[in-house]
Structure formats: C-alpha cells, structure tokens
Amino acid sequence: MRIDNLQYCNWSEKIFRQMREGQVDAVHVTIAYHENFRETVLNFEAWNRWFELYPDLITKGLWASDIDRARAAGKTAIFFGFQNPSPIEDDIGLVEIVHSLGARFMQLTYNNQSLLATGCYEAEDTGITRMGKQVIKEMNRVGLVVDMSHSADRSTIEAADISERPIAITHANPHDWHPALRNKRDDVIRAVTSNGGMLGFSLYPHHLKDGSHCTLQSFCEAVARTAERYGTDKIGIGSDLCQDQPDSVVEWMRVGRWAKEIDYGEGSAANPGFPPQPAWFRDNRDFGNIETGLRATGMSEDEVAGIMGRNWYRFYAENFGPAS
C-alpha cells in the first residue's frame, strides 16, 4: 500500500495516470490555501468534475475503507485537506460543513498568524487562541484532523496537548536533519507523536538537506533515524509534490491576498519559483525508489510497508469519523 499524505499538483490526466503507474493507492490533496468558504466549494466542484472525467483512474476518498475499494478497482483514492483555516472563515459551524463535503485535514495556520494559532514565520508565537481551542474541540468531534505543518512550535505543542484526538504534521522534516524554518524540532515532533499523531516526511527541496541535490540515502537514513526515535508506526510520507505548477502559484501559496509584496519564504528573491525535485523523486512513479532506499537502511519489510502507507491507513481509519 502506498499513501502520499500531501500533494498540490497542477492536476491533469497525465498526473492521474502517473499515480496509477506508481501504484499510489491514496493521495491527500490540498484544495485550499487562502480561499474562503465559497471559493473552496468551487474547488470541491472542480474535483467532482475530475472524478467524472477519469473514473477509471481516481475516486473520492472519505474513509480508510475507500482505499480498499480503490485498490480493488485499480484506482487512486483522493482525500481533501486545507493548508489554512480560511475555508471556515470566522464560523465554527463551517467545521462540520466542510467535513461533510469531504475535507479530512485542516491546518490551523499557514505561515502567518490565523484566528486559531500562530504560523511558523511570525516573530512571536502566542499559541492556540480562544477560537482555536473551540475549533480543535469541534474538529475532534466531527473527525477533521488537526494539521500543524506550517505552524510555530508553541502552537503545535499546545495543539497536540489540547486535542483529544491525534493530530498530524502532514508534510515536514526534522529540524536537526535540515534546519529549514518549516522543519520541526525534537520537542515538537515528540509532542505530536507521543499523543498518537503522525509525521509525514516531505520531499519538497526546501525541506531537504542539500535541497534538490539531496540523496536518496540521506533522505532514507533521516526517515529511519526518526522512526527509531519516535516510533516506526508514527512516520509516513507527505511529499508536498507540486508537479507541473507554474511559478506564479508560489506567489499565491506564500502571499494569497494578505500582502502586495512577494514573500519568498524559504525560497529567495533570486529563485522565487519552484525548485527542481531530486532526481530520484520526480513524480508519483518514483515511490518505489523510496521503498528501495528504506530497505537499504536495514528496516524490515513491515516497517517499510508502514511508512509507505499502512501507518497513514491506520490513522485515517481511527480519525476520520466522529468521536465515539
């Protein structure tokens, strides 16, 4: 089983076919960065059209059992998530609505301060807000997973402690492997995983040691060390693959509507676009390379299978439904 718990590609039949060539059974896709509720509904509509156009390749995922159904039919199950709480605006009642529409993950922040928590680019991290505590409670109730991939340290640790259900860092790497601003320090990963949560390893070059030149061996050894430290069952893949996106999309991701100036974030003014992927992970067809690399570190077949998909499958099964 192969599950990638974060992609934001410029979707096309080509990419859907590559998912099938790579035997990717499920993908969590971002359908909102800075969109409000109505704009996000339009993105749901766009995906409904893709499901209509390519029924032999993709199918909508709502529950872990949909992955089994997709595998049996030779399709990829598509799960939806938000990289910002903007789709719920300032209305806690929209948490249940977006879950009913199919959302299964929601970041409490992107890079900035939100109504719920502090993003990782802010100078001061004041933690989870009053509204944030209420929204986490409601997300727990309906089965919308708290995602802290772009959140600051204190906010992430507080979210892990406040949430009565496991939370996720869907796409980031350990800070001690590569000290990117968005990568996570030991106490942050430990807070998430010790409460039953998951860390999805990112393949976005700005999150990798040596960037686009990161080696497969370096990446897989980092995964193996992290699994040994926090538990093999707490680690998965969240590639953050942004395949075929035009560089202009980086402006939307980083700036949205909140600034007139371009905020280059982890890129630089000299290289504001998408960095090239490592040669060993160009697209969905290359997940087999990661499996091979993980085996080379000495991990068992069961451990590799968990990291490549089984751990996310279990997490989906336990956390996408209403609280019992």
The single-letter code of the amino acid at 225 is R
Count of CB atoms within 10 A of residue 63's CB?
16
Distance CA 32, CA 80 (A): 9
Provide the CA 231 distance to its chain's centre, in angstroms.
19
Say whether pLDDT at 266 is over 80: no
Give the single-character DSSP code of 86: G
Q: What is the mean pLDDT of residues 21-35?
A: 98
Say whether pLDDT at 324 is over 90: no
Per-residue confidence band for 265, with pLDDT thresholds at 50, 70 and 90: low
Question: Strand 168-169 relative to strand 3-7: parallel, antiparallel, unpaired?
Answer: unpaired
Instruction: Report helix, strand or coil for 96.
Output: helix
Say whether pLDDT at 148 is over 60: yes
176-215, pLDDT tens digit by residue?
999 999 999 999 999 999 999 999 999 999 999 999 999 9
For residue 58, the surrounding DSSP H or E stretch is: strand 58-60
Residue burial 300-313, b: 16+ Cβ < 10 Å; e: rest: eeebbbbbbbbbbb
CATH of 3-319, one of 3.40.50.300, 3.90.45.10, 3.40.50.880, 3.20.20.140: 3.20.20.140
Instruction: Report helix, strand or coil for 187.
Output: helix
The single-letter code of the amino acid at 227 is A
Say whether pLDDT at 264 is over 70: no
Question: Strand 58-60 relative to strand 26-32: parallel, antiparallel, unpaired?
Answer: unpaired
Q: What is the mean pLDDT of residues 210-223?
A: 97
Task: Please state at what angle helix 65-73 crosses helix 311-319, rounded to 10 degrees.
Answer: 130
Answer yes or no: are the C-beta atoms of 44 and 80 closer than 8 Å.
yes
First to last CA, the chain: 27
Say whether pLDDT at 172 is over 60: yes
**Locate tokens 């279990």: which residue?**
314
Q: What is the pLDDT of residue 301?
A: 98
Domain limits of the chain? Answer: 3-319
Q: How many CA atoms lie within 13 A of 221 on its CB side?
A: 9
Instruction: Return mean pLDDT, the chain.
Output: 95
The model carries a pTM of 0.96
42-87, pLDDT tens digit by residue?
999 999 999 999 999 999 999 999 999 999 999 999 999 999 999 9
Per-residue confidence band for 272, with pLDDT thresholds at 50, 70 and 90: low
Distance CA 158, CA 243 (A): 33
Per-residue confidence band for 157, with pLDDT thresholds at 50, 70 and 90: very high
Distance CA 252, CA 140 (A): 29
